[in-house]
Structure 1
Amino acid sequence: MNHATSRLRALAALPFVLALAVHLLVLALWYDRLSDPLATHFGASGRADGFTSRAAFAMISTALLLGLGAGWTLLVRRTALWGAWATAGFTGALLVLLVRDNLDAADAALVSSPLANLTVAAAVAGLFALGGWALTRHVPPVDSEAPVIDGPRLPLGASEVAGWTRATGSRPLTALAVLALAVTPAVLILAPWPGAVLGLLGLVIGVPGFALARIRVSVDRRGLTVRPAIVSWPRLRIPLDEVADADVRDVDAVADYGGWGYRVRAHRTGVVLRSGEALVVRRTGGREFAVTVPDARTAAALLNTLAERHGKV
C-alpha cells in the first residue's frame, strides 16, 4: 500500500472515529438518565413504536459506526472522501439525537422524535462533507509512471475532439428495485421493532438498485463517466490521467463479480448489469474497473486515444 492510499484510508476512517467517540461519550455521561429499554424506532407521527435495551443499543450503535467506517475505509476513492465524512456526520448525529430524545423519560413509550432531527443530521452531514472535501487536497493522486497503452485506438487528428455515450439497463434489477421500494413504506409504518429493520433493508436495496438499473456510460475529454441514466448524480468518473489501458472483455456477472449492480472484488470493481461485453479499464494504481455496455470496443478505443493524448500534454 503506497503513502497516498494509506493517507486516504486514514482520512476516511477519521470521521467515524470522531463520531464513535462523541457517541460513546454521550452514552457514558447520560447512561444513568436513560430509561431501559430505550425508544429506538418511531412511527410517522414521531411517537415511539420500537424499543431496545440500553446495553443492546450501545452495542448495535457501536457496531453500526464501526461497520460503516470499515466499509468506507476499504472502498473509498479520493474523489469520494467527502461521502465518508457525510455518512459519519449523518449517522453520528442521528444516534446522539436519539439518546437526547430518551433523556429522563419516565416511560419509553411516551418518547417522541421530531422530524427536525433529520434536518439537524442532514446539516451536520453537510458540514462534515465540506470538511472531507477540503481534506481531499491533502491526498495526492496515485503516483505512477507514464502508462503504456496497448488496447485498441480510435484514430483522431491532433485538433479533433470526440465523445462517446451509451445508455444501458437491466430489467431484472429494475423489477427488484421497484419491488423493494414499493414494500418499504408499509414495512416501516406497520412492522413493529425490530421488524422495521426490513424496511430499511428495502431502502438499502431499492435506492441503489433503482439508480443502477439503467445507467449512462460516457467517454470524453474528462475520461470515463458512469452515472444513472435518469439523473446526473451519483456518478463514478475515472479521469484520463488515471487510465493506464482500456479494452473489451466478456464477463460473467456471477462467476467474475458475484452478482449484479456495483460490485467490489480484490483489485477490481465494476458496474455489472448483465453477463457479456464489458469495457474494462486498468487504472494507474493497478486496479481494474469494468462496466457492461454495448459497443464497448468503440468506447475503449476512444478512451485509449484520449488518455494517450492527455499523457503527452
Structure 2
Amino acid sequence: MPYLGRRLVWGVLLPVLVTGAAFVLAFRWLPRLPGDVALHWGDEVNRSGPIDELLWTNGGMAILSLVTLAVFALTTGRTSLVRRLVLGLAMGQSVFFAGLLLAPLAAQLDTESGTVPQGFDAYVMSAVVLGLLAGAAAALTAGSDARLPATGPVAGDKAELGTHERAVWIKRVTPTPKFVVVGALVGTAVLGILAWTSWLSGSWFGFILGVVILALVSTMLVWRVKVDSQGLTAQAILGWPRLHVPADEVEGAESSGGQSSPGVWWLGNSHLTPTQPSGTVGVIIRGGEAVDISRSGERRVVITVNDASTGASLLRALAQRNRACHETG
C-alpha cells in the first residue's frame, strides 16, 4: 500500500482538523445566535427550535462522512485512480460538510428569533467551491503509480500478429437501454422533488446542485476502451476518470462473464483485509462479459465490454511483444 503518509494527511489528519475547527467555531458562535434558531425557512421562518437540532444534524453528517472516508483512505489506494478518488472525496467532503455545518449559523449571527437568515445560499456555494478546490488538491498530490514492469511470459493464447504488424482494438461501453430508462425516470423524479422543495423554500441552490451532479454522473456512464501497443486505456466520455494499464505491467488478461453490477463506477474491495488490501479496480457499466487483467503489484482491472475475448487476446499479444522488445533491447 503506497503513499501511507499522503493517505494519512489527506484522508485522516486534515479532514479531522477541518471538521474539528468547524465545531470549535460553531461553539464560539453560540452566544451570538438567537435562543431559537431558524430550522426551515422560505420568505419567512417556517420552523424554529434549539440550536442542538441544527448543530448535531449537520455535524453528524460531517462526522459520519469523515469516519467512512478515513477508513477507505487507510485500507484502499494501491492504484493511483482509487487513491486520488478516495483522498479527493475525503478532503473535499470534509470541507463541504464543515461549510454545511457553519452556513446556517453564519446566516443567523447577531439576529433575533424569527428573523429569516440572509446569505445562506452564498455560504453554501462557498463551501462547494472550497470543497472542490480542496478535493482537487488532494487528488492531484495523492501520488502516481510507480512503474512495476512484469516479468515472465504473458499467460494465455494471443492474437496472431506479424513482426511489424500493428493492431488497435477500440470499443464504446454504454449502459443497457433498460438502465437508461430507469435512470432517466429516477433522475427526473429526483429533480422534480428538488424543484418542489426549492420552490417551497425560495432557494434554488439545491436544484442547481442536483442538476450539476446528475450531469456529471451521466458523463461517467459512457466509456471508450482501447487496446494498443501502449496497453489498455479506458476513459469516460469527457476524458475523466481515466484508467490506464501499461503493456509492460500486464501479467495476463482473459475474458470473463457474469459481472452483475451494471450502471455504476465500481471500486472493488474483494478480499479486503488489513494485511492484504485489495488492488482491484473496475469499470462495470453493464452486465455481461468483461476484460479481466492481472497487473503487476498484485493489482487487477476488470472492465465490462463487448467482444472482451478479442480485446484480451490482443492485449496479451501486445504485452508479450513489449516484454520481448525490452528483453532483447
TM-score range, shorter chain: 0.7 to 0.9
Q: CA RMSD in A?
A: 4.0
Alpha-carbon shift at residue 110 of structure 1 (Å): 0.8
Residue 294 (str. 1) matches residue 317 (str. 2): no
Alpha-carbon shift at residue 123 of structure 1 (Å): 4.0
Counterparts in 2 of 1:42-53, with a 5 A limit?
Answer: 52-53=53-54
Residue 303 (str. 1) matches residue 315 (str. 2): yes
Which residue does 1:13 correspond to in 2?
A: 11
1:163 to 168, 171, 181: 168
Give the distance between the partners of 2:15 and 2:39, measured in 1 at CA: 21
Q: Per-residue CA shift, 1:175-211, capped at 9, x if unaligned?
A: 2221222122321232479xxxx98998799557634
Deviates more, 1:281-290 or 1:67-76: 67-76
Which residue does 1:251 correspond to in 2?
A: 258
Give the distance between the partners of 1:106 and 1:130, measured in 2 at CA: 39
Which residue does 1:149 correspond to in 2?
A: 154
Q: Per-residue CA shift, 1:240-272, capped at 9, x if unaligned?
A: 35433211112241xxx5x65233341444333
Give the distance between the partners of 1:212 and 1:243, measured in 2 at CA: 25
- What residue identity is the alignment partner of 2:62? S
Per the alignment, do residues 276 and 86 of structure 1 end up closer, same or farther by CA in structure 2, a change over 3 Å counting? same
- What residue identity is the alignment partner of 1:13? G
SS in 1 for 2:26: helix
Alpha-carbon shift at residue 58 of structure 1 (Å): 2.4
Which residue does 1:78 correspond to in 2?
A: 80
Per the alignment, do residues 31 and 283 of structure 1 end up closer, same or farther by CA in structure 2, a change over 3 Å counting? farther
Give the distance between the partners of 1:184 and 1:173, measured in 2 at CA: 16
How many residue pairs end up in the alignment? 300
TM-score, with structure 1 as normaliser: 0.74
Structure 1 residues not aligned, in runs of 5+:
none
Alpha-carbon shift at residue 280 of structure 1 (Å): 0.7
Give the distance between the partners of 1:42 and 1:68, measured in 2 at CA: 32
Give the distance between the partners of 1:40 and 1:24, measured in 2 at CA: 18
Structure 2 residues not aligned, in runs of 5+:
271-277
- What residue identity is the alignment partner of 2:264? G
Alpha-carbon shift at residue 140 of structure 1 (Å): 5.6
SS in 1 for 2:142: helix
Per the alignment, do residues 54 and 127 of structure 1 end up closer, same or farther by CA in structure 2, a change over 3 Å counting? closer
Q: Per-residue CA shift, 1:137-169, capped at 9, x if unaligned?
A: 4x6637575365203323445555432211132
- What residue identity is the alignment partner of 1:25? V
Instruction: Tell me if the contact between 2:58 and 2:97 (Cα under 8 Å) persists in the aligned partners.
Output: no
Give the distance between the partners of 1:218 and 1:35, measured in 2 at CA: 60
Per the alignment, do residues 305 and 56 of structure 1 end up closer, same or farther by CA in structure 2, a change over 3 Å counting? same
Which residue does 2:264 correspond to in 1?
A: 261
Which residue does 2:274 correspond to in 1?
A: none
Q: Per-residue CA shift, 1:65-98, capped at 9, x if unaligned?
A: 3334444554544245263344444444444444
Give the distance between the partners of 2:106 and 2:19, measured in 1 at CA: 16
Which residue does 1:64 correspond to in 2?
A: 65
Which residue does 2:142 correspond to in 1?
A: 136
Which residue does 2:296 correspond to in 1?
A: 284
Name the % identity.
23
SS in 1 for 2:141: helix
Q: Per-residue CA shift, 1:100-128, capped at 9, x if unaligned?
A: 22433423661134544455335424542
Instruction: Tell me if the contact between 1:180 and 1:203 (Cα under 8 Å) persists in the aligned partners.
Output: no
Q: Per-residue CA shift, 1:258-305, capped at 9, x if unaligned?
A: x65233341444333443321111222324322221111121122223
Instruction: Tell me if the contact between 1:150 and 1:245 (Cα under 8 Å) persists in the aligned partners.
Output: yes
Give the distance between the partners of 2:195 and 2:217, measured in 1 at CA: 22
Residue 100 (str. 1) matches residue 102 (str. 2): no
Instruction: Tell me if the contact between 1:225 and 1:235 (Cα under 8 Å) persists in the aligned partners.
Output: yes
- What residue identity is the alignment partner of 2:20? A
